[in-house]
Structure 1
Amino acid sequence: MLNRRRLIAAGATTVGGAMLLPFTGLTGAGANDVKAPAVKARRFGARGTAKALTPSVSPFSVRMPVPQVLQPAQSTSSADVYKVVIKPAVAEILPGVQTPVLTYGGQFVGPTIRARTGRPVKIVYGNRLDAPANVHLHGGHVPATSDGHPMDLIQPGEARLYDYPNTQQGATLWYHDHSHGTEAEHVFRGLHGFYLIEDEAERSLRLPSGAYDVPIMLRDVEFEQNGELLFFDDPANRTTILANGAIQPYFPVAARKYRFRLLNASNEHVFQLNLGGREMVKIASDGGLLPAPVPLTELVLASAERAEIVIDFARYPVGSQLVLSNGSTPVLRFDVTRTATDDSRLPGTLRPLPTLPAATVTRDVAMSFDLTGANPIGMVNNQPFDPNRVDFQIKRGSTEIWRVSNADTIGVDHTFHMHLVQFRVLDRNGAAPLPQDAGLKDTVHLPANGSVRVQATFTDYVGRYVYHCHYLEHSSIGMMAQMEIIP
């Protein structure tokens, strides 16, 4: 049986080329920067004396924060330009305790970037950590040079420009570290944030917007006795759930419709979200709007998946309290505190899914571990990640079907993530897809012995991109492969 603690044992420090820009004048840099947790120097076993802390927090005593929307440093006729520093900071996750974290721009949940379809965004990220880092726009259709390839690193003290054309339809994306070998710890310690794309067709639907369109990042954590985040332990022990960086917060709402953009930013966790039997309406998946709203009472969200829901609080009198739970564990409470006018809509038709072109290639992708050595090695099709090896060569414009399977025999879950494009889930275990598979996806859950068939069209860019397990402890030790899109 696999010792899950060993899965997070390995790390690597890798060096790749980067487009370097002047580091001066970047938002968030300053003399008050705190010292970063020593990520690069540690390996599993180095903190054998660490003991986990069971947090004692009064439920629903703090308000859920909403990540700050970042404003462009410059807007030109052709693009919005942002500057962000990757830097250490401290966050008060536990009341009265300063926890060292890694951040984009000094915030434990990084600043939200709101982009528009057809309006390019350029972001200069400067690295003030003492270890290499990078940024992957998860779900973004972007050139290979701006994808955050695991070997394209920003070295300490340097910077890199990322170009995001935003040619895709409106969707809830997120950005996070993808530096190979350290991505799991970097993301666990806070290198994550929302990137929201909006489009005119979506705006015409008059869905809840502005203050009534709220991103919520859900993730799990574990603490040491001193309040630091405890990374080197079994991920199953990460039993404290955060909503936008807060433990069991409350969120005051008006008696009207809200749009909530939910993201599972956990390294490896599956949420089963519910409102105690009350209805929520799912309107979007990873890649954007569904064809029509789907009422449900439970929402399954695996690591890196996103879902958008609408909750109509006008159904409940002022003074009502609705608790969002993960199974039976309370995560967040919505407090209906006031009345409000509501000119938003929840139309019966949202956005038709694109027609599936005929596939010309079928491929097999199997994720598993090699347990023959002293430490486990993550593998895709029986090979660990090698940045010098191209596993699949794909012609741009072609449509393919991938049969993706969890080939482990030891009872562990995986999630599968494909860079560059979204896909459609055709079937699961040879039967109809599950409700959480609907719509345009870039990440899909694969429980033990599970398999899916997905179909994707590679219409955007040429270059090398990765596909991998998005249980980040798995990808960090090799459960990743590389495709090259060619003309």
Structure 2
Amino acid sequence: MTMTATTSRTTATGAAPTPFTDELPVPPVLRPQQNSQGTGVLRVHARASMVSLHRALPRTPVWAYEGQLPGPTIEVRRDAALRVHWINKLAGPLPIVAVTGPPGSQNEPGRSGASPKDLSGMPAWTAVHVHGAAVGADSDGWPENGVSPGDRSVYTYPNRQRATALWYHDHAMNLTAYQVYAGLAGMYLIRDDEEDALHLPSGRRELPLMLKDINLDQDGEGRFTGRLLHKTELGANEFFGPYTTVNGRIWPYARLRPTVYRLRLLNASNARTYRLVLLDDSGTPVTGAMSLIGTDGGLLGAPVAVPPEGLVLAPAERADVLLDLHAHAGQTLTVVNTAAAPYLGVPAATPPGVPDPAHRLPFPQVLQLRVAPGPAPEPQLPTVLSPTFRRLTHADLPHDHGHRLVMLVKSSKPLREMEPAPDGPGIVRVKGSDGTTAGFRVAAGTWADAATIHVVQDSWEIWRVLNLSGQMHPIHLHLVQFQILRREVYDASGFDPATGEADPPIQHVATLPVPPDEAGWKDTVRVNPNEMAVVAARFADHSGRYVYHCHLLEHEDAGMMRPFVVMPAGIPGMGGGHGH
């Protein structure tokens, strides 16, 4: 498929809206006013509205917070409590078209050859989750605690966590994929004194960048209608759209000066992973201009160079990046995506910037950077960031920390909580890195199963997530930020997902070092096929019922989500709560 200048219709040659036509918008900022008790208060409305995705397209109906796509950026200070009234003012049917098409059809707009899905009976029922927030269970946005139009939920956020970029989005049970796609998402920034002391780029030099892929509906004449199209393919439920939006615009451009910018990157896509590469005018990758200074949970101890192969962001992951443009005065740079869909963690099939329609990447463009000419003194970038950050090791954990094993399997029970069991029918055997073999059975594997993970409040746990499904899953734990202790590779050739048994046992092959760009605090971890991600977290300060799930939103809605419960220590009958 080739990009052309056509702006009104898509043809068999792959015409599409002209890239880099609209300037990058920056969402407005909401800063709370304090009430008489010293708590900040905000009222945020979910509304139906019309927005412009591209100047050549008809306006698009969306559901969005305050009617803006993306929603306003909420900005708070560390330890300053915030109470938000999330008010459901939605009206009318869900403003998207959903269809299922033949294999390969996700690269194309329009419904040709696709079977429609009837969404007319879906309620405008919403639950809001601030992703990455350490918050009481009653304010976490439990997926079954939705509210209908005219009602509201009032949640309190203590903000007792490090400066970082979180985000808020709809989390209603079985509706999340459609409603986030319809526009219900925005960013949530926490500031603190440690961050202030670094004098990082701010104001117009700090850019929140919400990345999200979309598809577009067409009428019977092949003209764009402006409506969002959620097109999936037969045999798969993940949504991959051909067009990338940044802050709600398709392939925008930004006018920048030859200085340093702070990019607060968020992948808000339903299922698409981005591997971002910066190209110069000639299409050559630019190296050394981007430094990673923070991950999901806040600042690193020191900047990390973005890998030459690109910065990877799975759905829900964030990256705090310094972009140094002093050597690029007067140049036009382009950010492109090189990740195939679905993403398997393998190198790109085509050079950066070259379309790869065979892997659902017909248009790699993301964002154009137009750097103004002029003098560009070399900036002084920080070499030390967070003095309070430290890298965890197993030895840092208390001796009584808990252990959990979760397996990801392509089956009707895709998220399997495992418990130790002797050999026998239905037992999967795992030979670990220490050479010993242990048997496990499924303790729970569907949303309807009772909660089996009960964590003692303020305790540490190690969760091991073993992926036997054949595709990458970004796994998100509510309440906590964790660190990835290690990744392990396994040979699962003997595993039968139908029986849950493994003969020969699933066997450890290698232990992988944690790359520097994944060494910070995280709340979402990419678990690649035939790998085990081993993470450590402290379940501190709050108790109650939470969830963890795959953040491929169609997977979450299809049942790849499970509850866990945090209980205060000392409750009779709860035992140690430390798992296996």
Q: Structure 2 length as normaliser, TM-score?
A: 0.70
Match of 1:200 among 183, 193, 210: 193
Query: CA separation in 1, counterparts of 2:216 and 2:176?
Result: 19
Question: Which residue number corresponds to residue 336 of structure 1?
Answer: 371
Q: How does 1:182-193 map to 2 (within 5 A)?
A: 182-193=175-186
Say which of 144, 150, 167 aligns to 2:160: 167
Instruction: Quickly say closer, same or farther: Cα 1:480–1:380, change in 2 above 3 A.
Output: farther
Larger Cα Rg: Structure 1 or Structure 2? Answer: 2
Q: Does 1:93 align with 2:53?
A: yes
Contact 2:62–2:183 under 8 Å retained in 1: yes
Name the SS of the counterpart of 1:169 in structure 2: coil
Aligned residue for 1:57, secondary structure, equals coil
User: Does 2:427 match 1:368?
Assistant: no
2: CA distance, partners of 1:199 / 1:339: 34
- Mapped to 2, the partners of 1:292 and 1:96 lie a distance apart of 43
Identical counterparts, % of pairs: 38
Q: Which amino acid aligns with 1:379?
A: L
The structure whose RCO (Cα within 8 Å, separation 6+) is larger is: 1
Deviation at 1:391, TM superposition (A): 2.3
Matched, 1:379 2:389: no
The 8 Å contact of residues 270 and 552 in structure 2, kept in 1 or not, is answered as yes
Q: Cα distance 1:345–1:380, how it changes in 2: closer, same or farther (>3 A)?
A: farther
- Unmatched tracts of structure 2, length 5 or more: 1-10, 91-122, 219-224, 280-284, 339-352, 354-363, 418-441, 489-510, 569-580
Tell me what 1:7 maps to: none
Please point out which of 237, 244, 247 is paired with 1:244.
Answer: 247
Q: Give the CA deviation at 1:389.
A: 2.2
Match for 1:257 among 236, 239, 260?
Answer: 260
Distance 2:13 2:240 in 1: 11
Indicate the residue corresponding to 2:18 in structure 1.
58
1:7-18 alignment, distance < 5 Å: none
Is the partner of 2:84 in helix, strand or coil? strand
Structure 1 residue 86: Cα displacement = 1.0
Q: What is the DSSP-based 3-state SS (H/G/I as helix, E as strand, rest coil) of the residue aligned with 1:229?
A: strand
**2:321 corresponds to 1:309:** yes
| Deviation readout 1:53-93 (Å, 9 max, x if unpaired) | 96622221110101111243655551221111112112211
In the alignment, the residues of structure 2 paired with residue 392 and residue 290 of structure 1 have an alpha-carbon distance, to the nearest angstrom, of: 30
Alpha-carbon deviation of 1:481? 1.0
Q: Specify every segment of 5 or more residues in structure 1 that has no aligned partner in the other structure, as ranges.
A: 1-50, 372-376
Q: CA-to-partner distance for each residue in 1:137-166, whole Å, 9 max, x for gaps? A: 000001111100111111221011110111
Cα RMSD (Å) of the superposition?
2.3
- Structure-2 change in CA distance of 1:147 and 1:55 (3 Å): farther
| 1:399–1:457 Cα contact (<8 Å) kept | yes
SS of residue matched to 1:145? helix
Query: What's the secondary structure of 2:156's corresponding residue?
Result: strand
After alignment, is 267-276 or 341-350 more displaced? 341-350
- Tell me the residue number matched to 2:464: 403
Match of 2:381 in 1: 346
**Superposition map of 1:424-463 within 5 A:** 424-429=483-488, 430-463=511-544
Equivalent in the alignment of 2:120? none
- TM-score, normalization by structure 1: 0.83
* Amino acid corresponding to residue 187 of structure 1 in structure 2: V
Per-residue CA shift, 1:202-224, capped at 9, x if unaligned?
A: 11011111221111001111111
In the alignment, the residues of structure 1 paired with residue 331 and residue 325 of structure 2 have an alpha-carbon distance, to the nearest angstrom, of 9
Residue type of the partner of 1:394? V
For residues 162-220 of structure 1, the C-alpha deviation after alignment (integer angstroms, 9 at most, x for no partner) is 10111101011000011110001111111110000010111101111122111100111
Q: Does 1:471 align with 2:506?
A: no
Match of 1:144 in 2: 137
Q: CA deviation at 1:338?
A: 5.6
The alpha-carbon distance between structure 1 residues 387 and 162, as it changes in their structure 2 partners (threshold 3 A), is: farther
Cα distance 1:156–1:391, how it changes in 2: closer, same or farther (>3 A)?
Answer: farther
Structure 2 matches for 1:122-161, cutoff 5 A? 122-129=83-90, 130-161=123-154
Query: Aligned residues, how many?
Result: 429
CA distance 1:436–1:472, shift in 2 (3 Å): farther
